[in-house]
Chains A and B, each alone.
Chain A
Amino acid sequence: MTWEVVIGLETHAQLSTASKIFSGAATAFGAAPNTPASAVDIALPGVLPVLNKGAVERAIRFGLAVGATINTLSVFARKNYFYPDLPKGYQISQFEIPVVNGGEIAIVSPTRGEIRVRLTRAHLEEDAGKSLHEDYHGMTGIDLNRAGTPLLEIVSEPDMRSSDEAVAYAKSLHELVRWIEICDGNMQEGSFRCDANVSIRRPGEPLGTRCEIKTLNSFRFLQQAIDFEVRRQIAVIEDGGTIVQETRLYDPDRNQTRSMRSKEDAQDYRYFPDPDLPPLAIDRGWIERVRRDMPELAPMRRLRFSATSREHLVELVKGGAGVDLSEMSDQVYEESNPALQASGQRPTHGLTLADASALVQDRATADYFESTVAGGADAKAAANWVLGEVAAALNRAGIGIAAAPVSPAALAGLLARIADGTISGKIAKEIFDAMWASGARGARDADAIIDAKGLRQISDEGAIERLVDEVIAGNAGIVAEFRAGREKAFNSLVGKVMAASRGKANPGQVNAILRRKLG
C-alpha cells in the first residue's frame, strides 16, 4: 500500500527595505556586529517601535501578486519568550489578524501538471539577532544587527504532495518575491528560508501528525530534508510506531533530521496585541496606489509574449481564468482586469509558449528580451539569441543577465545586421563573442567590429561569380562527381566558395550562382 506525502511550507522572506521594520537602523548585511543596531534594536529601556511603511507596502505588493485579501485592519502582537538574541524578550509579529489572507501560487508538478498551491496567510514580523557560539571561549556572543529586520512570513496550505512539488513551490515563490522586488532572495544570507511541515497518510485518510523542519535555506536542503523525513515517518509507522508532533532540525552533513523539541515542551508564547502599535490601517487608496505601481507579473507576461495581438492576449487571459467566462464579452472582461488592461498597452510578440515561458523564468531575462525587441530586433530572432547565445555565454561566465557585457541595444544592433544581410548568422556568432569579450553597450558596436574585421558579407554578384568560377576551375574532380549525380559534391563546392571568401560570401547567392554555372 502506498503512502501519500502532505507538505505545507512556512517561508520567511526578508523584505528589501533600507531600514528595519520598527527602527531607523540600516538593514545592510555583513556589517561589524552590533553596529547597525539602534537603541530600539537593542531594546534599551523606554524605546518604542515605529512601523516602517515600506515593509507594509511590500506586504501589500505580495498580497496583490498572489490574488490575496489585503486586510484593511491588521494587528501586531507580541510573541513572548526569553532568548539572548531576542532583545525585548518578545518578538513583534502578527497573530490573530495578519496583513494578508489567502491567495495562491501556481506551480508545475512533475506528476500532476499545473496546480495551484493555496496560501493561508502572510504576516509581517521582525527578525531576531544571532547568537554566536564560536570564538568566545565558552561564552556566547550576541550580534543584534539582524534584530528588527523586516520579514514577511508566508504560510501555505498543506497542498503539496512531494518534495518535488515543495521545491517547485519554493522556487516559484522565490522568483515571485524577487520579481516584485520585495526581497533580494539571497538564500546564503538567509533572506529567504523555509520551514517545512511534513506528514504522511494513506490516500483518502485524514491528515497525519506533522513534523516541522526548521530553517531550510537552500532548495537542495529542502528536498533532501523532506525526502529524509518522509522515509523516517514511513519507517516509524510501518514499524508500528506513531509520529510525535515535534520540531526537527535538518543536518545537511549527515542528511538527516533530528528532534529539536516536541509539542509537549512547546512554549506558551502568551501572544497579545502590542499596545505600543495601533492596529495597522491600510486604506483602499494605498492599496490602489500599490496596485498601479505593480510590475507586470510572470504569468501575464508569458501570455503577452506568446500573443499575436492585444485581442489575442485578452482571449488567452480570459481562456486561462479557470472559470467559464464565455458569457462575458472580451471588452467587459478586459475592463474588469486592471492587470490585463495594463498589459494590453504593451507590445505582443507572437512567440511560442515554450519560448515565452523560458523568457519569463526571471524578470531580468524578460526585460532583456523586451529591451532587445525595443531596440529594433525581430521578436523571434531576439528570443532565439537570448535563450541561445546569450544564455550560453552567461552560463560559461557564471553571471546573471543583469551583468551581461552585451547590452540589449548592442544585441539588437547585431541582429539588425543579420536581418539586412550584412552578415550571416555564423559570422554574427563570431561578432557576438567579440562583443562579449570587449563589452558592448551601444547599438553601433556590432557595426564597428564588422568594419574593423572586414566581416561585411559579400553580396556583389560579380565578386561571387569570380569566386565560383575559380572554384569550378580548380576542382574538376568534384565537379565531375556532381555531374555524375552525387548531390553531396555540390555542398562541398559551396564550402570551397565560402572558404575562398573567408566566410563572407552570402550563402544564398553562392548556392544560386553555383547551381546556375553547373547548369
Chain B
Amino acid sequence: MSDGTLAALSRRLAAREISSVELVAETLDRIDAHQKALNAFVTVDRDGALAQAKAADAARAKGAAGPLAGIPIAHKDVLMTAGLPTTCGSRMLADFVAPYDAHVVEGLKRAGTVLVGKTNMDEFAMGSSNETSYFGPVRNPWDLDRVPGGSSGGSAAAVAARLVPAATGTDTGGSIRQPASLTGICGLKPTYGVASRYGLIAFASSLDTPGPFAQTAEDCALMMNAMAGHDPRDSTSLDRPVEDYTRRLSRSKGARPLEGLRVGLPREYFGKGNDTEVAAAVQAAVAEFVDLGARTVEVGLPAVDLSVPVYYGIAPAAASSNLSRFDGVRYGHRAARYDDLNDMYRKTRAEGFGAEVKRRILVGTYVLSHGYYDAYYVKAQQVRRLIADDYARAWRECDILVGPTAPSPAFRFGDKTDDPVQMYLNDIYTIAANLTGAPAISIPCGFTRAGLPIGLQIQGDYFSEAAILDVAHRYQQATDWHARVPRIAAAE
C-alpha cells in the first residue's frame, strides 16, 4: 500500500480507503526492514510519526485535510526539525537536537504531512556519493554496491526504495538532482529564493536551495505547494504571489501536449564526457519530446564549462565562513581534553569534521585570503555572471534546456573517493543552475543494461517551476521510467 505515489496515496486517504495511521505504520515497518541494507535514515521518529498520523486522521474526520495531510515524508538531516536530532551527517552535530523548525519543515507540517524521520546525507551536504557521512554511506536501492549520489542520498534512496512517497533535499551544486538521477526518481531544485533557507544548515549561502524528491513531477508539484513561500526570516527569500505548482498539470492537451515547446540542447551537454548509455537514453528522451510536439534547437553555453572551477571557488569560501560557528563553544561536539582556547578549537574541529569538510574549509579559507581573494573569489563571481549571461541568451531561443543530469550512472563505492576532482566532475551539468539560481528538475529517462537508472535534467528560466514540472509531467504520462521499482522494494 505505502509504495504508491503521493498523489495516489492522497486520493486513497481522501476516499478513506486507508488511514494515515495504517499508512505510517506500514511506512515505519518498511524503513526498519530496509535500514540495514540502505542506511537511508539517521533518525526514525516512530512515536512522533504515529502521533502525527493520528492527528492527521482526526483532522480529516473533521473535514480539515489538504492533499498532503497524513502523507508520510522524510527530511534531509540538514533541515532543523524541532525536538529531533539534526546531525547534518556530521560528528560535529551527532548529538544536536534542533530547537526549532526550518521554514520548509513548518510548511510541510502545516500541510499535515507526517514526519517519519531524518535522512542520511554527505557531511554538511559536501559530497556527490553520500560516502562522507559520519553515519556511514547510503546504498543505492538499484545496486547495493553503488552510491545513491549526494549529498541528499538518504532522501533519494528512501523515495527510490518506496520507503516514503516524498522527501526533502537541498541542492547546492546538484545535491537533489544528481541523487535523483542515480536512484531513478524526480528531484526539483526550485529558483533560489522561492523556498526559504531559514533552518537549513548553511553550506554555501548563495547556492543552497531546498527542494522535493518524489516519484513523479506531479508529486514534486504537490510538495512545492507546501515548501514555497515568502519568509521574512530569510533576507534572500522572495516576496512573490503564492503559486499553485500543480495548476498546469490537469489541463488536457491531447496527443501532442508539448506542441510549440522549444527544447534547447546545449552543445556543451552532449560532448564526449558522457557515458554512452546515458547519452543514448537522453537522445531517446529528446525524441520522445519531439513526438509529443516539441521542436529542438541547438544552443551554446560557452561559459558553462567553467561551472565546476567557479563553484569550487565560491562554495568552499562560503562554507569556510558558515562552518566557523561549529567551534565547540555553545553546542555540538567539543573535544574532551584541551590545553587552552586555541587547542580546544583545534581538537574540536579536527575531531568533529570529516576529511571532505576539512578539505573545503581549507580551500575556502585560501580562496578568501589576503592576496588570493581577487584572483579566486572575485574572479569566480565574475565568471558566474558570464554563465548567467549565457543562459539569458539561450532563453531567447528556447523554453527549456534538456540534457543528462549526470555524465554517468551510479558508480561503485570508493570509485572516486581517491580523486576529489573526478567526484566534483559528476556535478558538471547541475552546478550551473545553482550559480544562476534558476530552477531545474531531474527525472528518470531510462536504464543501463545493468539496470541502473539514468536521469534527464530539464532546466528553465527563473520562476518557471510550474512550466518545467508540466513538461516533465507530460513526458511521464507518455513513458513509464518513473514507475520502475528497484527489486528490493518490489520483493515484498
Contacts and interface: CB of A to CB of B under 8 A. Distances in A.
A272 B327 contact: no
B345 A82 contact: yes
Given A45-B96, A268-B370, A89 B325 contact: yes
Contact of A276 (B80, B100, B232, B236): B236
B201 interface: yes
Interface string A428-471: 00000000000000000000000000000000000000000000
Given A82-B345, A84-B329, A39 B317 contact: no
Contacts of B365: 270
A513 to B, nearest CB: 81
Interface in A25-58: 39, 42-51
A80 interface: yes
Contacts of A48: 197-198, 233-236
B330 A46 contact: no
Given A46-B102, A89-B324, A89-B325, A270 B345 contact: no
A42 B330 contact: yes
A88 interface: yes
Contacts of A39: 99-100
A87 B331 CA distance: 11
Task: Name the residue among A45, A82, A275 with the largest chain B CB count within 10 angstroms.
Answer: A45
Contact of A78 (B201, B321, B330): B321
Interface string A48-88: 11110000000000000000000000000010101010011
Nearest to A39: B100
Interface string B304-333: 000000000000011011011101011100
A277 interface: yes
Tier of interface size on chain A: 20 to 34
A35 to B, nearest CB: 15
B205 A80 contact: no
Contact of B377 (A43, A88, A89, A272): A272
Contacts of A272: 317, 321, 368, 373, 377
Task: Name the residue among A49, A90, A271, A276 with the largest chain B CB count within 10 angstroms.
Answer: A276
Contacts of B205: 275-276
Contact of A88 (B96, B325, B345): B325
B206 interface: yes
A338 interface: no
Contact of B202 (A46, A84, A142): A46
Nearest to B314: A275
B333 to A, nearest CB: 13
A88 B323 CA distance: 8
A45 B88 contact: yes
B341 interface: yes
The secondary structure that dominates the B interface is loop
B362 to A, nearest CB: 13
Nearest to A142: B329
A270 B369 contact: yes
B93 interface: yes
B202 A268 contact: no
Contacts of A43: 325, 330
A400 interface: no
Contact of B198 (A47, A84, A142, A277): A47
A199 to B, nearest CB: 23
Given A45-B88, A46-B201, A276-B205, A268 B80 contact: no
B80 A46 contact: yes
Interface string B46-86: 00000000000000000000000000000000011000001
B199 interface: yes
Contacts of A276: 202, 205, 235-236
B200 interface: yes
Interface residues of B, number: 43
A278 B325 CA distance: 21
Contacts of B235: 48-51, 276-278
Contacts of B232: 50
Interface string B29-40: 000000000000
A151 B125 CA distance: 34
A82 B324 CA distance: 7
Given A45-B86, A45-B96, A270 B321 contact: yes
A42 B326 CA distance: 11
Interface in B182-234: 197-202, 204-206, 232-234
Nearest to A266: B370
Given A80-B321, A88-B324, A89-B324, A45 B329 contact: no
A50 B324 contact: no
B151 to A, nearest CB: 16
Contacts of A50: 232-235
A46 to B, nearest CB: 4
Contacts of A90: 321, 324
Interface string A327-341: 000000000000000
Contacts of B331: 44
A477 B99 CA distance: 97
Contacts of B96: 45
A275 B198 contact: no
A390 to B, nearest CB: 48
Contacts of B200: 46
Task: Name the residue among B88, B100, B204, B368 with the largest chain A CB count within 10 angstroms.
Answer: B368
Contacts of A51: 235
Nearest to B329: A84
Nearest to A80: B321
Nearest to B364: A270
Contacts of A80: 320-321, 324, 368
Contacts of A142: 329-330
Given A45-B201, A272-B373, A278 B88 contact: no
B166 to A, nearest CB: 21
A79 B317 CA distance: 13
Interface string B132-156: 0000000000000000000000000
20 contacts: A42-B330, A46-B197, A46-B198, A47-B233, A48-B198, A48-B233, A50-B234, A51-B235, A87-B329, A89-B323, A89-B325, A89-B327, A142-B330, A270-B369, A271-B368, A275-B204, A275-B206, A275-B236, A275-B318, A278-B235
Given A46-B80, A80-B321, 5 more contacts: A43-B325, A48-B236, A84-B327, A270-B320, A277-B235
Interface of A: 39, 42-51, 78, 80, 82, 84, 87-90, 140, 142, 268, 270-272, 275-278
Interface of B: 79-80, 86, 88, 93, 96, 98-100, 102, 197-202, 204-206, 232-236, 317-318, 320-321, 323-325, 327, 329-331, 341, 345, 365, 368-370, 373, 377
The 3 closest A-B pairs by CB, nearest first: A89-B324, A270-B368, A275-B205
